[in-house]
Structure 1
């Protein structure tokens, strides 16, 4: 990427980089653990504290139902969504899913991911400017996930539409309150109903005629005589849209912007592609797609010298923790050679993101293919870049990139 692009600026560019960095710095300046009286939220912002919260599900529960707004249409998704569960339920569902979604299954996707990347880039081979989100970052993981689930190719656009609605954040402000959340849930409820009905019918077809897809493997998975019910699998599929799709989309877009903002990075990676895994981890640290995780205090606890009552809401700030100067040298600097890199972007403890290996694999293949196909890539102007609502997702919606072929 060229140095010219790094000198351009716009309000949105400021939003994604400078404002987020300033917000994380302000959170840390307020103390490792502090209370927001206006929102009634406890913030945990240092690396040690965030890791401790995420590693202690008995004290900091992932089950937010006692304090979260309810929406009947979302109850179906909650049944198999083990991210919102505590042990022992979490252990049961994660074990069942792990029998089907194995490292071998993920590794076996590599040739297909390469083929999909090649097809998507071939489709824009005649262009000198490519929207890398529309052309690659968005469709790639959706196609991979849909194929993994055995979804017919003609229905793949449905998954793209659902994901865009579920994670668009168009109904939310950048600092949403409980009323905003309730309105957002109400707005996306019809999409949730449509998706629930479609996936449920697909699961029932697979029960009648099993194949070699992930749904069929989930149907066969068993732990201590227990198997997943149809509606529980619907919740897992919804979860897979997050873990296997939107994270990869955000990661790819963020990587291209981060590299563009740091001239010479892609040149170094092209000269030594073996650095790509470290570069991907650094992008994950620098711009985590989901920069905070909510937890409910299950029992009174003292954290950072503060007494937190039961049912208090705790926000564990991954973005701030990933920039903790006590854990990372020059934390605000993108260093693609940084190793080890103990970022918390994929979580910590029992809820470590089960989709992380797939996201890393897709990002590595896609970025390597971009390095091979293009002699240069540059964001010519950030005026044409648009971003997701950072209250929902840190990532780009549209990323027009000028490309130069060998």
Structure 2
């Protein structure tokens, strides 16, 4: 276990950076300041960062800061940024021109390991320097590399596809790609975004995924089907007027709630969930338990929990496998969940497949609605 060590008193700019760059989220920071008798009123993250850096704290306090920074998220997430197929030559030309050039002086970001054998096999790496919790100082610098592949999408176009663990890695990758595309968005970049859909269509997207024929896909001799919807995140529909919204949600004791996680059995058919949707809330995240229809060589079924999430703070879409394992059959013929990591190749195939299914459903909804105001990721 790594010891939480801090031998040098942190610099003011280090304190400011860990708050402004989201190494510690604003809520945790405000809670910490409150515990020290400091009440903060204001909305700006930059203001909060500057204010926090003005105080002198004890070594114990700084170690607490560092502990918050060291909390690890080991779940691999997968995301993509779409672009038009007719832009591929422009993409290749720009990648070739910009490779090994510093794109962002603050993080020493650049494109390396460019491979353009053909249009079906284009890949590169986004390299940058990340600042994070150090072993001696509060902050240290580390070299990071995020592989990016250009892949086909179900509608015949292309996408920059990448995987990551921490949101900072996704943010840097998106920043590099949008920089290459330029302020005029010459690649015609876009993302799968709920903001492009009407209220009922946001619910439709999830419902169509829940009822999709997932068993039609075979992964390393396994096929999987949905066993249970474990949790749903709901968000308030911003399109409805405040007067109507308050009147509707008051009945369900959700007044004032903009976002909430719902858990329980038979979740999608749950009467409360049904009533919440009628009160102008929609889904923005689903955690879904998948189970294999066939067993491994030991007679055990495989399971995993897939998370599909649309984020709005920095608009993005991601799929994650949060937990996986096997159902082990006990002598009393009851299944016991035993956590076990999926084979990395199987995990990647699953994530790629579910991303494609969401994209397929999303594109079909857009096409049938004649919606043209697609989210421009460079904005």
TM-score under structure 2 length normalisation: 0.24
Question: Greater helix percent: which structure?
Answer: 1
User: Is the radius of gyration larger for structure 1 or structure 2?
Assistant: 2
Q: Whose relative contact order is higher, 1 or 2, with alpha carbons under 8 Å and at least 6 apart?
A: 1
Question: Greater strand percent: which structure?
Answer: 2
TM-score under structure 1 length normalisation: 0.23
